[in-house]
Every structure is written in structure tokens, then in C-alpha cells.
Amino acid sequence: MAILHTVNKSPYEKTSLESCVQRSDAGAAILLIEDGVYAALAGGAKAELVKAALADRKVFVLEPDLKARGLADQALIEGVESVDFDGFVDLTTQYDQVNAWL
Amino acid sequence: MAILHTVNKSPYEKTSLESCVQRSDAGAAILLIEDGVYAALAGGAKAELVKAALADRKVFVLEPDLKARGLADQALIEGVESVDFDGFVDLTTQYDQVNAWL
Amino acid sequence: MSEENDGKKFMFVNRRAPYGTIYAQESLEVVLIAAALEQDVSLLFIDDGVFQLTKGQNTEGVGMKNFSPAYAALGDYDVSKLYVEKESLEERGLTLDDLQHLTWEDEDDDWAEKDSIRLISRDEVKKLIEEQDVLLSF
Amino acid sequence: MSEENDGKKFMFVNRRAPYGTIYAQESLEVVLIAAALEQDVSLLFIDDGVFQLTKGQNTEGVGMKNFSPAYAALGDYDVSKLYVEKESLEERGLTLDDLQHLTWEDEDDDWAEKDSIRLISRDEVKKLIEEQDVLLSF
Amino acid sequence: MKYAIMINEGPYNHQASDTAYNFCKAALDKGHEIIRVFFYHDGVNNATRLGVPPQDDRNITEKWVALGKEHDLDLSVCVAAAQRRGLLDEGEAQRWGKDVNNIAEVFHITGLGQLVEACIQADRLVEFGD
Amino acid sequence: MKYAIMINEGPYNHQASDTAYNFCKAALDKGHEIIRVFFYHDGVNNATRLGVPPQDDRNITEKWVALGKEHDLDLSVCVAAAQRRGLLDEGEAQRWGKDVNNIAEVFHITGLGQLVEACIQADRLVEFGD
């Protein structure tokens, strides 16, 4: 089994991403959506969380949410892959289950 | 001026208390309410936040919220004072303004 | 699939404290329905979710409903797997003694009363999440 | 009381990111009313509140209303004090160049166009909060 | 002392409305004055008369209505926030061509100016939210 | 692939309902099946027909209604959560002695069993909340 974990909260505001990174297994994927996309910024102080996850998990970010927040031109952490809503749907088919870290 | 700051979020879930402690001035007071009361537990890993505030600020905790959460018998950080809703009202009169860290 | 149950493995992931928000309370209603529909139900308590299980909750002073007795009733509905993460408890300065003593009666063991709360490590949590068919987070 | 204004000193404390929740958007409506009622209005952006001011917001892909142009309109309502905490910006890897360039026209200086955003330190935030008559947090 | 109260979250889902109620009750019992309780954001949902909570739970809207009647409180609901979320009085329902309204007695719909006015008149604003 | 969707927050205040809508639309466009969209907690407030958002903003309820009609979606609202928060259909309004109901077309009120049943039948549950 491999799980797709969604995180929709800013890592600067809530501990959801940290909790997810600590409890997701190798081979899992983390998809950053809504305010979760702030975690993907290369220059942010919380970039370490995503970098740690990238060691053995995939990390995706929902591009429409990046664009809404004016972050389309910001550098993302290397290895983070952008997806649109089509890609979000595809990820839910590629992984065995979905878990939301609210 | 001296401000009464209210914090209603668990320090394990949100960064509200940390943000409040960093930006409240000497002489101010912090009142922990709702899920904010968890910050007052002596044995908790986030106890340092309240201890730091106690250096030059008062810290209060709303007892009805402690009791609701089954924490009436837990040891609180030394220096934290319990108040009920009457005490909450009194604090808003004793300080010059109130600011909510939501 | 579990050995005892032909249903799906439903895990309820509880990460939030009680009373500040309603999620803990309303999630219990789903747990009972899933159990009634004979699914293989378990509950996971991590992060502030461990605060849901404290004993001695008394909501008189806040004027809200005390729903903590519902956890003790879970055993009657054959919900016997309440996983509590050890690290989450420790970070909050709590021990098992601070939580309700929750039990169930094992039909296959002459109705022996057994503990419902199973203390597990963060590493075990990782594995457990991967074994589920349905994850409901509240 | 400020020198230019007989109203109360209203400070709007913005700590949350836009779009994930509605607070940033709905708080602006209060700002405009307070300005219309001739209060001495200022806005403070700390924590994720600094994300409200990013330039280039484009909400087409999420189907929500892009309300970021409202910040540029604040100057027209004589709202000219937008305090942004330097440490909050830095922690998030942002600089002033990532934010909208917001201006107002100073009536007392021959309508000279001036910057609305004032970068201040965390220590200055502490002092500023203490100087207010009304603090509205969103 | 004169208070303005702001409530930003709806009933039951968050504790905000319960805490605000307990605060107001304690303040009134001590002889303080509450100029206005202003319901903003999801807080407007406290004003619905259609809520039917379980019998063994509190009815938050009814608690506010009773407190409002006892102390002649001004329970103000922000019109813009209420429109968005479907909380209407008779006039609003007519204005927008809706067949029914759902506001409870005592509560009334008003503009954001009433929030700012309350802050101007009050000695303290106390805010309850998420 | 067969999906069950759960939405835990009301419209506008949180992005959850918008994100869920965009996800559902993309999934349907790709030919996937959505067994049920289940509105729980404050999510029940998405089903009100009384909302009047500003003209330059989206109307979330109407978007769900239109998507529901186009794809014959099952938009289920949890009865217990809806009662608490004042979201009623005609039957519920009668049952509780309320003078009006406020549910929008296409949405219907049902029990929590329908959430569990959807999870049993679906290949994936996708949850949107706060």
C-alpha cells in the first residue's frame, strides 16, 4: 500500500504538515493544497519539512492554489512537482488510499 | 498601555501562542482559553512558551475550559493563575485593551 | 481485511482536541454507524487527538455537552481497537493513567474484559495507516 | 490619538493567509467602513498575514474571487499605514519586491505619492500594538 | 464598563459562541454594559431560528435569544456576511427574491458600520473566533 | 474509478468546498464516477438555497446544483449535522415544527449510514475540510 496524503494548512500556522511528514511512510506521496502550498517555497524557513519528506516520498503541489496566492514565480523546493486538478485526480488513482491532514 | 491577549488554540496544533509570546510587551497579560489551556500544562513539551512569557508578563488560564478538558488535576506551570468567567471579565477591565490571537 | 470481519478496514484518525471544535464529537457518530454496518473499525489518536480520552471531563462551567462517556460505550458496539500514539501522549506530559480506562469484552475468550486502548509508537502508526482501506480524518 | 485624526486608533491585525479562509477578504470590508467613519486606521501584517499582499495573485484556476486589487484601493480611502513585519516576511522567504507596490497621496505634501507599506521589526510591532485603542484580529 | 463583542464562528462547530455567551453573562451579572454583540463571518449562523440540536445538548441560538431578551441586548448580524451564507430576515428575503427567511427573534441584520460604531463607543472590544 | 467525497466546511469561510468542487469536476471530466458527495459538520451549510453572494463572486451552492444536475450526482447532507445547524428540508421542518425549510434543489438530507455506505462502495474517499 502507498498512501496519498493531502495537507491544506500553512506550515507556519499549523502543525499538520509536520505531523504528516512524521507519520507518512516511505513510498507515500504528499500533495500540498490550499494554504498547504506555502510549504513548497524554497526560501521559506519551513522548507526543511518538505525536504525531509523528499528523501523517500514524492511531494506535489497544486498549481492553481500557488497561482491564486501569487506564488507562480516563486522558486519551489527542488523535487516538488506541480499538478493541476487533473493531476490531483490522477494521483488519487495512482496511490491506494487518500488521507487528509486537516 | 497594557494589553490583555487571549489565546484559544493549542500550542501543539497552531502557532498562535508562539506568535503572541513573541509580540506581547512586558507588562501585558496572556489569558489561555478554549484549546489554549493546553499550553498551561507543566509537563508539556510546549511549556517553555508560557515560561518565557512569565518572565515579564502575567499568564492566566480559564478554569472552566481546563475542567471541561479533564485537566483540573493536572499540574500547571508555576506562576500561571486560574480564573473563571468572572475573572476573565475582571481582567478585561484591569488591562487597557484586549487582543485575540485566533 | 481483518480475520474477524468481512467489512473494510475503517480507521478514524483523531488529531484534534475536544470542545474547541466539534470534530471529535461528531466523528464518534460515524464510528458507531461504521461499527453497526459491520465494518472493521479502529480509532487512531495522535497529536491533540489524545486529549479526547482524558478522564474527569466536566463541562458544567462551559455549558457544553460532555460527550466523553461515549468513548466508554464504544466497547459495547464491538469497537475495541483504540490506538494511542505514545509520543503524542509524552509530548503533552500525559500518561495512560490520565486517560479513561476503556474496555471491551472478548466474545472469543469467554467474554473476558480487555483493554481497548493500545499504546503504539510513531513508527507503528506509520505502518498502521498504510494497512487501512478507508481513512477518515477529523 | 493620532495628530491628524480625532477618531480612535483602529488597528487591524492580519495573521492569516488569503483564500484558504475568508478572514482576509472580509476584514477589508471593516477597514473601509472604519476609514469612512474617519477613524485613525492602520493595518498590521504578521505571520501568514504577509501573504495577503503578494503581487500577481490569479484565482482563475481555483474559481474564487481575486480580492487582492482591494489592497491597492486602500490609499483612495486614506488608509495609508500598512505595517509589514520584517521577520515574518523573511521567515517565508519573501522580500518587499514580492509584494504589491501600494501607495497613497499625501494631502499635506501637495498630493505627493508615498508608499503605504512600512516595513517594521518585531520589536516595533510590540510597541505599535500597545498604542492602539481598538485591536481587530482576523 | 462598556463592551463591544464580536463573534466570528457559527454555533457548535467552534467553541467561540459558547465562550462569548459565558463572557457576556458574567459581564452583565457584574453590572457592565454590552453595547452590541456583533456576529461576523460564519458567526452569522448563530442567528438561525431553524436549528434543532439534540435534546441533551444546549441550544446556542435560544441561549442568545433569552439573554438578549433579559438584558435588552443588541444582537447584530452583519448583512454582507449573512447574505453570503444564507441568513436572511424578512426584508432581505424580499429584496433578493427568496421565498423564506430564517432569522431568529431578537437578532437583527445590520451593516458593518454598527461594528465600528460599537468599537468607538465601547471601552473594550472582545473578540471570539477560530 | 469510484469516489466518495466528504466536505466538512461551509461555503466561503473555508476553501474546502471550492477545492472539492474543482476536484469533482476534474474527476467527472475524466470519466470517473462519484458515488456520493457527503456534506458533514459545517459542510451542511453548502446546501442552503438562501445564499446571496456578491454579484462579482461565485455562488458555491449554485455551482454544486449545476454540477449535480449535469452528472446526476448524489449530494447528501448529514441529517444530524444539519439539524444542529439549521439546514432543513420540508420533511425535517415539519417534523420539528419549523415554519420553513431552506435546502436547495438537488441536495437531500440523509443519515450518516450513507457516508459509510459510500466509503464501502467507493475505491477512494477524498476528504476536504479545515
Residue D9 neighbours by CB distance under 10 Å: 18
Is there a contact between E127 and B89 if contact means CB atoms under 8 Å apart? no
E40 touching chain C per CB within 8 A: no
Give me the pLDDT at residue F125, please: 98
Candidate list E78, E103, E118, E122, residue with the active-site label: E78
Collapsing DSSP to helix, strand or coil, A87 comes out as helix
- Residues D96, D101, D106, D109: is their CA dihedral positive or negative? positive
Q: CB within 8 A of F13, min separation 6: which ones?
A: D21, D22, E41, E42, E85, F42
C87 touching chain B per CB within 8 A: no
Is there a contact between A44 and D56 if contact means CB atoms under 8 Å apart? no
What separation in angstroms does the CA of E20 have from each of B99, D16, E2, E34, E37? 14, 22, 15, 12, 9
Q: CB within 8 A of D30, min separation 6: which ones?
A: D12, D136, E40, E112, E115, E116
Average pLDDT over residues E61-77: 98
Average pLDDT over residues E24-50: 98
Q: What is the dihedral of CA F46, F47, F50, F55, to 10 degrees?
A: 50
How many degrees, rounded to 5, is the angle at CA A64 between CA D82 and CA E44? 60
* Separation of alpha carbons B37 and C20, rounded Å: 10
Is there a contact between F11 and E100 if contact means CB atoms under 8 Å apart? no
Domain assignment of residue D58, yes or no: yes
For D103, counting Cβ atoms within 10 Å of its Cβ (0-12 exposed, 13-18 middle, 19+ buried), the class is middle
Collapsing DSSP to helix, strand or coil, D84 comes out as strand
Quote the percentage of chain B above a pLDDT of 90.
Answer: 99
Is there a contact between D13 and B97 if contact means CB atoms under 8 Å apart? no
What residues 42-61 of chain C have any CB closer than 8 A to a CB of chain A? 46-47
Average pLDDT over residues F10-23: 98
Is there a contact between B14 and A14 if contact means CB atoms under 8 Å apart? yes
Q: Is residue D4's pLDDT more than 80?
A: no
* Separation of alpha carbons C110 and D22, rounded Å: 56
Sole residue written with cell 490583555: B4
Collapsing DSSP to helix, strand or coil, E23 comes out as helix
* Separation of alpha carbons C66 and C18, rounded Å: 10
DSSP secondary structure code for residue B24 in this structure: P
Residue B56, domain extent: 3-101
Name the average pLDDT for chain C. Answer: 95
For C22, counting Cβ atoms within 10 Å of its Cβ (0-12 exposed, 13-18 middle, 19+ buried), the class is buried
Q: At C4, is the pLDDT very low, low, confident or very high (cuts 50, 70, 90)?
A: low
pLDDT one-digit tens code per residue, D81-138: 999 999 999 999 999 999 999 999 999 999 999 999 999 999 999 999 999 999 999 9
**What are the sequence ranges of the domains in chain E?**
2-128
Q: What is the dihedral of CA B17, B21, B26, B31, to 10 degrees?
A: 10
Give me the pLDDT at residue F124, please: 98
Give me the pLDDT at residue C112, please: 96
| Regions of chain A where pLDDT drops below 50 | none
Q: Are D75 and D100 in contact (CB under 8 A)?
A: no
User: Do A and E have ≥3 inter-chain CB pairs under 8 A?
Assistant: no
Give me the pLDDT at residue D3, please: 47
Provide φ and ψ at B58, rounded to 5°.
-90, 150
pLDDT one-digit tens code per residue, D65-92: 999 999 999 999 999 999 999 999 999 9
Is there a contact between E19 and C22 if contact means CB atoms under 8 Å apart? no
Task: Say which amino acid occupies E56.
Answer: D
Domain assignment of residue D114, yes or no: yes
* Separation of alpha carbons E14 and E65, rounded Å: 19
D77 touching chain E per CB within 8 A: no
Which chain B residues are closer than 8 Å to A15 by Cβ? Answer: 12-14
Q: What is the dihedral of CA F58, F61, F62, F63, to 10 degrees?
A: 70
Nearest to D30 among E116, E120, E129 (CB): E116
Domain assignment of residue D2, yes or no: no
Average pLDDT over residues C19-42: 97
Average pLDDT over residues B7-21: 98
Provide the pairing of β-strand B97-101 with C82-85: unpaired
* Separation of alpha carbons A31 and A85, rounded Å: 11
Q: Is residue C2's pLDDT more than 50?
A: no
Counted domains in chain D: 1
Q: Is residue C1's pLDDT more than 90?
A: no
E33 touching chain B per CB within 8 A: no
Provide the CATH number for the domain around residue A19: 3.40.1260.10
D19 touching chain F per CB within 8 A: yes
What separation in angstroms does the CA of D61 have from each of A69, C109, F17? 11, 57, 14
Is there a contact between A13 and D48 if contact means CB atoms under 8 Å apart? yes
**Domain F2-128 fold:** Hypothetical Protein Ychn; Chain: A, (3.40.1260)
What separation in angstroms does the CA of C33 have from each of B88, C49, D119, F77, F116? 40, 20, 54, 16, 7
Q: Is residue D5's pLDDT more than 80?
A: no
Candidate list F24, F67, F78, F109, residue with the active-site label: F78
Give me the pLDDT at residue D1, please: 37
Name the average pLDDT for chain F. Answer: 98
DSSP secondary structure code for residue E128 in this structure: E
Q: Is residue F102's pLDDT more than 70?
A: yes
Give me the pLDDT at residue A1, please: 81
* Separation of alpha carbons D2 and C129, rounded Å: 57
- Joined grid coordinates for residue D115: 508608499
Provide φ and ψ at D134, rounded to 5°.
-140, 130
Is there a contact between D62 and F58 if contact means CB atoms under 8 Å apart? no
Task: Say which amino acid occupies C47.
Answer: D
Q: At B1, is the pLDDT very low, low, confident or very high (cuts 50, 70, 90)?
A: confident
Which chain E residues are closer than 8 Å to F87 by Cβ? Answer: 50
- Joined grid coordinates for residue C32: 458507531
Provide the CATH number for the domain around residue C84: 3.40.1260.10
pLDDT one-digit tens code per residue, F91-101: 999 999 999 99
Give me the pLDDT at residue C65, please: 98
pLDDT one-digit tens code per residue, E108-123: 999 999 999 999 999 9
D126 touching chain B per CB within 8 A: yes
Best residue of C10, C132, C134 to probe chain F, by most F CBs closer than 10 Å: C134
ipTM score over 0.90, yes or no: yes
Q: How close E76 gets to chain B, by Cα (Å)?
A: 20
Residue D34, domain extent: 7-137
pLDDT one-digit tens code per residue, B58-102: 999 999 999 999 999 999 999 999 999 999 999 999 999 999 999
Biggest CA-to-CA distance, chain A: 36
* Separation of alpha carbons F89 and F106, rounded Å: 11
Domain assignment of residue C84, yes or no: yes
Q: Are A9 and A32 in contact (CB under 8 A)?
A: no
C84 touching chain A per CB within 8 A: no
Average pLDDT over residues C53-58: 98
pLDDT one-digit tens code per residue, C68-105: 999 999 999 999 999 999 999 999 999 999 999 999 99
Domain assignment of residue C71, yes or no: yes
Is there a contact between C134 and F111 if contact means CB atoms under 8 Å apart? no
- Among residues D88, B46, F106, D33, the alpha carbon closest in space to that of E78 is found at D33
- Joined grid coordinates for residue F4: 466518495
A48 touching chain D per CB within 8 A: no
Tell me, yes or no, if F78 is annotated catalytic. Answer: yes
Q: How close D9 gets to chain A, by Cα (Å)?
A: 27
Best residue of C21, C23, C57 to probe chain B, by most B CBs closer than 10 Å: C57
Which chain E residues are closer than 8 Å to B37 by Cβ? Answer: none
Is there a contact between B43 and C92 if contact means CB atoms under 8 Å apart? yes
A64 touching chain F per CB within 8 A: yes
